[in-house]
Structure 1
Amino acid sequence: MSVRAVGAVDLIWDEQPPYDDRPGGRLARVVVTKEFQGDLQASSVAHLLTAESARPGSGGYVGLERVVGTLHGRPGSFVLQHCGVMNRGAGALTIEVVPDTGTGDLTGLTGTMEIRLVDGEHGFTFDYTVER
């Protein structure tokens, strides 16, 4: 049975200079440091590769993020995989737990996370299961 965790997340973006700035898509690296509050009390660092189109509102990114903390009081860590695309302003984002990356009391963790921006504040919803 799936459990839902919700809360707020603070993000600090560190965008690196582009490593490929040719026409057709600007490629860059971004490191995002996060602090989760709520049902997930944790810190993380996400390493992202981004592609920005010359057309405003279009681009994409992929990334990996290690999360360390407690989830509903269970200590451990896990890795999230990100895949995001913006198509002329319409976005799609998938964030999933990488299989078998859970440690401690989060061994066997699977799930998906949604990050949302409401009134300038970031929040998350994390639907997960822990199977031993």
Structure 2
Amino acid sequence: MGRARACVRPGRPGRTGARGAFAEGTVRRGAGQAGGDGRAAGVDVGRVRISKEFTGGPTGSSVVRMPSVLDGASGPAAYVAVERVTGSPAGRQGSFALRHAAPGSHGERPAIRVVEGTGSGGPEGITGVFEPEVDEEGWHGHVLDYALNR
């Protein structure tokens, strides 16, 4: 498992996000299961399944399925992913899905959004944006700016 610690954001405890609720926490990544289609015509396509544990807000776990295109030098050049989160945003136990789209490994930030209509149980009707935060030491945190429209 990777190391994790809380995101430190001075002056923002209990902050309300643009969508009504704001949660911060840490992400602990489990070992991934890699596979790939190999290199063909100069393009190296890979895929991985990653498990995560969340603490803070929301608490819970997830499974990510991620195909990617590798650039051969610095890792994924681009990726898309679907992530099923099971946990409790705002103390409401249930599940929802996130979709990832990342243009590459050259400084672009990934876009990770809640897939509308996927909330079940407590987070039914959830919408929002998930922002990963990685510091210079590789510690992973996250911010979930969301609304529960139910």
Following TM superposition, by how much is the alpha carbon of 1:55 offset from its aligned partner in structure 2, in angstroms? 5.0
TM-score (norm 2): 0.80
TM-score (norm 1): 0.90
Cα pair 1:111 1:126 within 8 Å, conserved: yes
Residue 112 of structure 1 aligns with which residue?
129
Identity %: 33
User: Does 2:27 match 1:4?
Assistant: no
Residue 72 of structure 1 aligns with which residue?
90
The AA in structure 1 aligned to 2:133 is R
Residue 86 of structure 1 aligns with which residue?
104
Cα pair 2:44 2:70 within 8 Å, conserved: yes
**How many correspondences in the alignment?**
131
The AA in structure 1 aligned to 2:111 is T
Distance 2:32 2:39 in 1: 18
Distance 2:113 2:48 in 1: 19
User: Does 2:26 match 1:26?
Assistant: no
Distance 1:9 1:40 in 2: 10
Distance 1:22 1:34 in 2: 31
Runs of 4+ residues over 4 Å off in structure 1: none
Cα pair 2:23 2:145 within 8 Å, conserved: yes
Secondary structure in structure 1 of the residue aligned to 2:32: strand
Distance 1:57 1:28, change over 3 A: closer
Residue 99 of structure 1 aligns with which residue?
116
Cα pair 1:8 1:36 within 8 Å, conserved: yes
Q: Tell me, which stretches of 5 or more residues in structure 2 are unaligned?
A: 1-18
Q: Which of 15, 26, 40 lines up with 2:58 in the alignment?
A: 40
Cα pair 1:43 1:67 within 8 Å, conserved: yes
Q: Which of 60, 63, 73 lines up with 2:81 in the alignment?
A: 63
Query: Which structure shows the bigger proportion of residues in strand conformation?
Result: 1
The AA in structure 2 aligned to 1:99 is E
Cα pair 2:127 2:146 within 8 Å, conserved: yes
